[in-house]
A = this chain, B = another copy of it.
Amino acid sequence: MVQDIRVELTKNKRVKPDMKTVKFGKSFSDHMFLMNYEEGKGWFDPRIVPYGPVEMDMACMVFHYGQEIFEGMKAYRTSEGKVQLFRPTENIRRMAISGERLVMPAVDEDMFLAALKKLLEVDAEWVPSEEATSLYIRPFMIATDVGLGVHASKSYLFSIITCPVGSYYPEGLNPIKIMIESQDVRAVRGGTGIAKCGGNYAASLRASLLAEYKGYSQVLWLDGVERKYIEEVGSMNIMFKVNGEVLTPSLTGSVLAGITRKSCIELMKTWGIDVTERLITVDEIVEAAENGTLEEVWGTGTAAVVSPVGWLTYKDKTFEIGGGKIGTLTQKLYDGLTGIQWGKVPDTLGWTVPVEK
């Protein structure tokens, strides 16, 4: 059921960032969406209000027990000036799955979509039109019960905030260096890896920071049980082209089911390329790198879309992939997906959802 959304427009418009220098996730749009939930009452008071701070009690559950989930998606401006979303229903459904793991209520699909569209209408001028830019959209939900007993909260705040972004990697679509992490663990089967929840990212910060100090963009995680299967990157899924075959780790329960991953698989299918989803050991990738059959490696995620990996480091050994250059398939996937997202190529798969205005 779609409830009416109350709109309170800002009286103090925020300054728009320079899209050439804007940092990812630092400049927020004029408005945000908020909606509250209470057990027994359900969701209520959907509203769009000026972006700004919210008063929070220090005993709010979200500050103590990490009951928080989020999504990440984008709105794109097409060359005709229209604004469109990319597979928003996938994000809405994944958020419900995250909520199931963390015992948090789902937001009605139609209501969620209505909130997204309304917010984008109100802040339409925040969807940038410069090359390779978009409006990053962050729906999230936090536990708002005031109290310190370890229990699922009975009240929640659902919010959507947005920020105009350039390319995720300041260097642009250049191959990145990835370090395979063999110490810290991000998620484990039975844990919260399938959910997009705060705790997974908190667990990942130390390894990411150490990797960054050493000059790597991100960390590639191994499974938490045997520490030998490749799972995913900090904020991307990963794909390999080995000896002509495209491989990606299967969704075993501790990997996030990326929407870009799914879209890459489906897009390649239309190109006649079958992607093998299975358990992939780090050893076989190292072997392929050593014997020269590791042709391409790339990450997939909303922020960077498709990100070529030029160097993989495992236990202090670094392997260069494809001469540190962008692979043909990687480039084709990037062009294919971003082409649909920015409306440059026909959306034959029905992935985009237009936003009026």
Which A residues contact B (CB, under 8 angstroms)?
23-26, 28, 32, 51-59, 62-68, 70, 101-103, 136, 138, 140, 142, 146-152, 159, 161, 163, 183-192, 197-206, 208-209, 224-225, 227, 234-235
Taken together as a complex, chains A and B put the C-alpha atoms of A163 and B57 apart, in Å, by: 14
Number of copies of this chain that the complex holds: 2
Asked if residues B140 and A65 are in contact (CB atoms below 8 Å), the reply is: no
The residues of B that contact A142 with a CB separation of less than 8 Å are 63
Taken together as a complex, chains A and B put the C-alpha atoms of A25 and B163 apart, in Å, by: 37
Asked if residues A62 and B59 are in contact (CB atoms below 8 Å), the reply is: no
The residues of B that contact A201 with a CB separation of less than 8 Å are 64-67, 150
The residues of B that contact A101 with a CB separation of less than 8 Å are 206
Given contacts A54-B55, A103-B205, contact A66 B197 (CB under 8 A): yes
| Min CB gap A275→B, angstroms | 26
Asked if residues A63 and B66 are in contact (CB atoms below 8 Å), the reply is: no
Q: Give 21 pairs: A residue, B residue, CB < 8 Å, sorted on A.
A: A25-B59, A26-B149, A52-B57, A53-B58, A55-B56, A58-B159, A66-B68, A66-B201, A102-B202, A102-B203, A102-B206, A150-B235, A151-B208, A152-B205, A152-B206, A183-B190, A188-B188, A190-B224, A191-B203, A192-B202, A199-B200
The residues of B that contact A51 with a CB separation of less than 8 Å are 58
**Residue among B140, B149, B191, B205 making CB contact with A63, cutoff 8 Å:** B140
Closest B residue to A224 using CB positions? B188
The residues of B that contact A68 with a CB separation of less than 8 Å are 63-64, 66, 198, 202
Asked if residues A66 and B225 are in contact (CB atoms below 8 Å), the reply is: no
Closest B residue to A253 using CB positions? B185
Asked if residues B205 and A202 are in contact (CB atoms below 8 Å), the reply is: no
Asked if residues B103 and A206 are in contact (CB atoms below 8 Å), the reply is: yes
Taken together as a complex, chains A and B put the C-alpha atoms of A203 and B200 apart, in Å, by: 10
Taken together as a complex, chains A and B put the C-alpha atoms of A140 and B57 apart, in Å, by: 13
Asked if residues A202 and B67 are in contact (CB atoms below 8 Å), the reply is: yes
Taken together as a complex, chains A and B put the C-alpha atoms of A159 and B64 apart, in Å, by: 11
The residues of B that contact A208 with a CB separation of less than 8 Å are 150-152
Taken together as a complex, chains A and B put the C-alpha atoms of A62 and B185 apart, in Å, by: 20
Taken together as a complex, chains A and B put the C-alpha atoms of A187 and B235 apart, in Å, by: 21
Taken together as a complex, chains A and B put the C-alpha atoms of A225 and B151 apart, in Å, by: 25
**Residue among B23, B148, B186 making CB contact with A25, cutoff 8 Å:** B148
The residues of B that contact A103 with a CB separation of less than 8 Å are 205-206, 209
Taken together as a complex, chains A and B put the C-alpha atoms of A225 and B208 apart, in Å, by: 23
